[in-house]
Chain A
Amino acid sequence: MARRNGTGATSKRLRKTWWGYPRENGDVGARNYLLLLSGTLYANPTCERVARTLRHSVALTHPLGRCQIGPDIQRTFETLVGHGQNANAGAVIVIDHHREEGCTADEIAHEIAKTGKRVEAINIREDGGAIDATAKATRIGMEMLRELTNERRQEVSLSKLLLGLNCGTSDTTSGLSHNKATGWVTDQVVKLGGRALLAETTEMMGGEDVLAAKCVRPALGKRIWRMVEEMEERILACGVDLRGSQPTGDNMEGGLTTIEEKSLGAIQKAGSAPIVDVIPWAKRANRRSGLHVMDTPGHGGESITGIAAGGSQVLIFSTGGGHTINHPLMSTIRITGNPLSARLQADTTDVDVTDIFEGAPIEVAGRRVYDEVLDVASGKMTKAEILHEDNAFAINRIGPSV
């Protein structure tokens, strides 16, 4: 039986299993949601209406899917597919509006169906307009939920966990406390055969050598160097000083002086695990145990959206300033070691690791975070999940609207 460790009390031995929903393709969900996935902005209200009607469903909406070109529309498409494929979605209804280009509900549903999960596509115009499409999706969704809610969690190994790692509103406490505790958790998850996913390319600037040294192949290290270089080239092409945007105003208020300082704190989340792959934004991570690295911007919402599309079921969001950030589909655990933030943002802080500054070893705080990760993966809701703080589905863009 799963031990429910809500108090955060630590036992000598780390738990090696968690309880989730096994999927046909071998993935395991930490949640069993019905996902209402919008293919285009004009389908957003229909998705939201259906999700409001159906208990235990989640809507993912966005302003995109129209008048985008080339790699930009491809990126939107892959992001939507990645979310439909994420194991936290037990079944999916994709809704689009009329005739979309390169991002239709049918095409998205076709890719999601490859996981073996049940998926339906609805077109608002073909299905008789906003009200009839809502009714159709509601009926299909209700039947899907009857099946989903009849499934039971099963005990699975850590190898089935892809733990997302992201930090935000960083300050000087980040590199000293919560990112270090996160790094400790990364190491344990990887030692037990699991995977972790590090992201935020902007915050690798200045720490490339440290990350490259962790790579299992020199070619991966080169990819990290190249990825950071490309990010820096895009910044330089804007002709402005990065400072003020990175580090952000709140980073500087928190004592971080330069992007290099922010980066060296951020990469503490990697722990000492080997880097086994480096992947583009929103690409599905392969199954190899170890630390995977994804090319994402420093923008918190976009970065964790990329991570969710990569397949993460649970994410540690490690924050200096405290945060409300929460992905609607991927359970997001917020932790902080900053005593002031732990007090001011207690409403959305799931794990307090401020005892590090009172002399507690990193391992003591790390164990508390580890237990929370396994509890949340097994069904415990995070504070922001309970509060419906569904603020962090944000698709990254690489082209103009046309």
Chain B
Amino acid sequence: MPVTAMIIEDGDNVATCLEKVAKGGSVRLMLNGKMGKTLKANQAIPYIHKICIKTLKKGEHCMKYGLSIGVASKDIKVGDYIHVHNIESARGRGDLA
């Protein structure tokens, strides 16, 4: 059984996996209650964490809710686990100020 992953806005880079996903496990995308295509997870993804559904180049904004949630700190492929290891906040960065 593939794990369902919810997309919020069409065009977002990420979807939220509703169960944990094993490395190589399949993830079925859902947008507005409609099921879409199935992806393979390139790494294990913890419970309710995010999977990349649209390639990101280093420095590009990662979109969720149709808005930026931060910047890719490295190139990210479809199926990659997305979290603090590859996305950085652009706000409140006193360490860079």
Q: Enumerate chain A interface residues (CB-CB to B < 8 A).
A: 171-173, 175-176, 205-207, 209-210, 232, 235-243, 246, 252, 254-255, 257-261, 264-265, 338, 340, 357, 359
Contact = CB atoms under 8 A, between A and B. Distances in A.
A239 B94 contact: yes
Prevailing SS type, chain B contact patch: loop
Nearest to A242: B92
B65, B70, B93: residue with the most chain A Cβ atoms closer than 10 Å? B65
Q: In the A-B complex, list the 9 residue pairs whose CB atoms are closest, starting with the nearest.
A: A242-B92, A258-B89, A261-B69, A241-B95, A255-B49, A258-B70, A264-B65, A236-B94, A260-B69
6 contacts: A242-B92, A255-B83, A257-B70, A257-B84, A260-B89, A264-B65
Contacts of B1: none
A172 B91 contact: no
Given A206-B67, A257-B87, A260-B91, 5 more contacts: A209-B67, A239-B95, A257-B89, A258-B91, A264-B64
A173 B5 CA distance: 11
Nearest to B49: A255
Contact of B50 (A172, A236, A338, A340): A172
B41 interface: no
Interface string B49-92: 11000000000000011011110000000000011100111111
A233 B32 CA distance: 38
A265 B70 CA distance: 14
Given A172-B50, A242-B92, A257 B67 contact: no
Contact of B48 (A171, A206, A209, A242): A171
Contacts of A255: 16, 46-50, 83
B36 to A, nearest CB: 15
A264 B69 contact: yes
A239 B92 contact: no
Given A255-B83, A258-B91, A206 B68 contact: yes
Contacts, number: 97
A207 B89 contact: no
A27 to B, nearest CB: 36
Interface in B30-51: 33, 46-50
Contacts of A171: 48
B94 A257 contact: no
B18 A357 contact: yes
Contact of B8 (A175, A239, A254): A175
Contacts of B27: none
Contacts of A237: 94
B91 A206 contact: yes
Nearest to A243: B89
Nearest to B4: A357
B43 to A, nearest CB: 14
B41 to A, nearest CB: 14
B29 interface: no
B19 to A, nearest CB: 10
Contact of A240 (B6, B65, B95): B95
Nearest to A209: B67
Contact of A359 (B33, B68, B83, B97): B33
Nearest to B30: A359
B89 A173 contact: no
A173 B48 contact: yes
Contacts of B92: 205, 232, 235-236, 241-243, 246, 259
Nearest to A265: B65
B49 to A, nearest CB: 4
A8 to B, nearest CB: 22
A243 B84 contact: yes
A246 B93 CA distance: 11
A54 B65 CA distance: 50
A252 B84 contact: yes
A258 B65 contact: no
A238 B48 CA distance: 32
Nearest to A260: B69
A398 B82 CA distance: 37
Contacts of A206: 67-69, 91
Contact of A242 (B6, B82, B87, B91): B91
B67 A259 contact: no
Contacts of A235: 92, 94
A175 B93 CA distance: 23
A258 B67 contact: no
A243 B67 CA distance: 19
A257 B97 contact: no
Contacts of A175: 8, 65
Nearest to A268: B65
